[in-house]
Chain A
Amino acid sequence: MVEIFINDKKFKVAKNTKLLDTCKKNNIYIPTLCYHPDFPGFAGCRLCVVEVRKKNESKLVAACEYPIRSIERFYTESEMVKKSRRMTAKLLIARAPEAKEILEEIINEKIEPEFDTLNVQNKRCVLCGLCYRLCHKQGTAAIYTAGRGADKVVQTPYKDANEDCIGCGSCVAICPTGAIRMIDSNGKRALWYHQFELLKCPICGEQHITNQMLLYEMQKTGLSETELSICPRCRREKMGQEMLRGICHEKIVTVK
């Protein structure tokens, strides 16, 4: 166990606990954007910065990845922290002006635009990296980042329909800013340059799953086609419990 101070309050935590986890457990709010408990180790958005104060110097660390290892003093709302956080938000809205409200909600204050808007196509994507990390984690690996620095974008290879994409919409579901377009209409789903055929639930008739998803899940879970083509709601009703694990099937949302 290590004794630490957060905002001058003493806490005792197990060594190597991440600072963010400690704060969460103790209801100390830390804004986060790129963090997700299922795939840690990114620390890219830097909204979660916290000041570590030493005798005569201070530094900022990303709480989501910072392991607590020794007695240290952390400040989560100091001037230094707020300044950095505000700047990050201002810079992010210069890239993604349409993500302004969401960012304001995350950092809990109004953002005054200060910089010229960048000339990028997607006015919502803040490059948190959640979508492609999820896509890789679930094994489909259909989207990647292309380009470096400010030219970085989330894309399918060659900006074209990618055979690896199964049209599950996990990326859409996890995106904090609604930056990925997915349109379900007339039994079709448009996503990442693809047109997917949506299959009907044999019980309620809801069009909920693409053919590719069905095949992918059959392979991955070993369940039968009939079992998988039943929509989650009916399945739950039918079986009284969730049987399916493995793929983030449940996270699908539909963007109108």
Chain B
Amino acid sequence: MKTLFLLCGDVGCRGYESRQVYDKFLELKADWFDIKFTGCQGLCANGPILQVKPGDIFYQKVKSSDVFEILEKTQKNELVERLLYTDSETKKRYIRTDQVPFYKKQTKIILRTNGLINPKSIDDYIAMGGYAGLKKALTLQPENIVDEILKSGLRGRGGGGFPAGRKWEDVFNAFETPKYIICNGDEGDPGAFMDRSLMEGTPHVVLEGMTIAAFAVGSNEGFIYVRDEYPIAVRNLQKGIHDARKKGLLGENIFGSGFQFDIKIKRGAGAFVCGESSALMRSIEGKIGEPHEKHIHASEQGLWGKPTLLNNVETYANVPYIILNGAKNYKKMGTVDSPGTKVFSLVGKVRNAGLIEVEMGTTLREIIFEIGGGIVKNRPFKAVQTGGPSGGCIPSEYLDLPVDFDSLKAVGSIMGSGGMIVMDDCDCMVEVARYFTKFLMEESCGKCAPCREGLVQVYRILEGITQGRGSLEDLRKLKELGEYIASSSLCGLGRSAPNPLLSTLRYFEDEYIDHIKNKYCVAGVCKVLTKFEINIVKCTKCGLCFKACPVDAIKILDDGCYKIIEENCIRCGECRSACTFNAIRW
């Protein structure tokens, strides 16, 4: 059997020059091995990632200069030890992918083939069992498919967690024709890359899911709305559509069944709010992407006033699995009310940042400390923000919370599309609220008064507090504004926008009060309220801080100690990040 090298070619790893590694492999091409440039393999922080099959050997941080050695040793059945995953605490080395703690707790359904196939090859996807779901679906009655999705309890992965089966049923029952299928791939959350990785890494699973949906609800025309900043996703999807058509898996007479369905790609309009369903449909229609009141569901009157099924990328990606394995087996994963798995992008102050897929109901602790490997530099965990910019911050007392749609909502956050930002004691919660409010304020479409006017006032007050101009009266105002915006806004953006504010007020009110009363930022982030000092007990006189300071505010004293000159310090915190001994105090 030929040896197969699977090199990650997705965003994260490409940032670490995996392209050069790939080119090197091509340069040294030999008959005994194959090399595949795959979609995201998950552990982006340690990229480029390389897996070797057979043996499932896992290499990380591979450079093009390593390729020769890897080939040589693989041929001799040896390992390149230094490229193996090494636990930073125990110094234990792991060889196989499934032993690496990052992968051990994961359950890959959606991302099953991501990272194992060449995204541009339909044959690769089919070889991994792709399109078997569609083939099976076409032998079933449409109502049975709808029923299976209903029974599976699948909930929309785009944020709201609305039962997918209910939408499918409504569109199935709608009288009017034509009916449309839309896949929401707008993914406007900054820093999120779940849907992107899927569209780039396994475009066919999205196409397959959509085609099954189309057959089930009786639609012949589908759209994928892809965020404008995702050219590779567009390219891979386009290639996928082209190949599927050629193979008779899309277009007229799919699998010889007489069923006809085709998919067009629409590029997003570049605004966060265009991911909102009513704005998205306007945008596809060529109108301004502003939200509208949605008392009449899209399943009745959606795109061009016709019955429309709108689901998220990941929602569709669940469908082939459910059809193949049955609702009963699907429900074995996850929790009772949120079955299945969820893909998260785990980022922030966590060691193993990357793309993960876990069963619903996995606890935050398992995600952050087992899969994520804990907090960078062993600092204390402070909070995790879930759900993208309009998600809430969850404090450490909820680390054992099993993550699903309802549990997150209960603690003042949301599932959103699956962003997870881990924060440590160097993150100021007032600043976090200010930062996300700013993003949302700038992304508000400005149509309705609460969101347009409310957020800008919230922002001004928060900015005041971070700059030492806050008053206790501000806290009352903030709470009132937050509740008002959430209850009175027109669309989901405004209705969820106060989450960062309200959740930090709820769990970290002390920090707000510290800023206001004591003019002190406990995280050392708010410049006016911070003072950095070197703790001479912990200082090893290594001089890292000295080199890191961008304004030369650190001086060497006669005895070799370092000192921060307060007048020159701009409080950027670079010295603190540079110091490996936690010797910078604030």
- Spell out A's residues near B (CB within 8 Å): 41-47, 49, 59-60, 62, 65-67, 69, 80, 83-84, 87-88, 91-92, 94-95, 114-116, 118, 126-127, 129, 145, 147-152
Write out, one digit per residue, whether chain B residues 443-486 have a CB within 8 A of any chain A CB (1) or not (0).
11111111111111100100000000000000001001100100
Whether B457 contacts A115 by the Cβ 8 Å rule is yes
User: CB within 8 A of A94: which of B295, B457, B477?
Assistant: B457
Q: Cβ of B489 < 8 Å from any Cβ of A?
A: yes
Closest approach, in angstroms, between the C-beta of B14 and any C-beta of chain A?
Answer: 31
User: CB within 8 A of A59: which of B295, B444, B487?
Assistant: B487
Q: Cβ of B214 < 8 Å from any Cβ of A?
A: no
- Spell out B's residues near A (CB within 8 Å): 271, 292-293, 295-296, 441-457, 460, 477, 480-481, 484, 487-490
Whether A84 contacts B449 by the Cβ 8 Å rule is no
CA distance A84 to B457 in the complex (A): 15
Closest approach, in angstroms, between the C-beta of B103 and any C-beta of chain A?
Answer: 41
Whether A84 contacts B484 by the Cβ 8 Å rule is yes
The closest CB in chain B to the CB of A59 belongs to B487
The closest CB in chain B to the CB of A128 belongs to B449
The closest CB in chain A to the CB of B273 belongs to A148
* List of A residues within 8 angstroms of B487 by Cβ: 59-60, 80, 84
CA distance A95 to B444 in the complex (A): 16
User: CB within 8 A of B441: which of A42, A80, A127, A150?
Assistant: A150
Closest approach, in angstroms, between the C-beta of A47 and any C-beta of chain B?
Answer: 8
Q: Mind listing 17 A-B residue pairs with CB under 8 Å? A: A43-B448, A46-B448, A46-B490, A59-B487, A60-B487, A62-B293, A62-B490, A84-B487, A88-B449, A88-B453, A91-B450, A91-B457, A95-B453, A127-B449, A148-B442, A149-B444, A149-B446
Main secondary structure of the interface of B (DSSP, over half): helix
Whether B293 contacts A65 by the Cβ 8 Å rule is yes
Given contacts A148-B445, A148-B446, A150-B441, contact A67 B295 (CB under 8 A): yes
Given contacts A46-B488, A65-B295, A67-B296, contact A91 B445 (CB under 8 A): no
The closest CB in chain B to the CB of A144 belongs to B288
CA distance A118 to B455 in the complex (A): 12
Whether B443 contacts A148 by the Cβ 8 Å rule is yes
Closest approach, in angstroms, between the C-beta of B279 and any C-beta of chain A?
Answer: 12
Closest approach, in angstroms, between the C-beta of B207 and any C-beta of chain A?
Answer: 33
Closest approach, in angstroms, between the C-beta of A165 and any C-beta of chain B?
Answer: 20
CA distance A94 to B488 in the complex (A): 18
Of A44, A45, A60, A83, chain B has the most CB atoms within 10 Å of the CB of A44
* List of B residues within 8 angstroms of A60 by Cβ: 487-488
Whether B453 contacts A91 by the Cβ 8 Å rule is yes
The closest CB in chain A to the CB of B440 belongs to A149
The closest CB in chain B to the CB of A116 belongs to B460
Given contacts A83-B484, A127-B446, contact A149 B455 (CB under 8 A): yes
CA distance A95 to B455 in the complex (A): 13
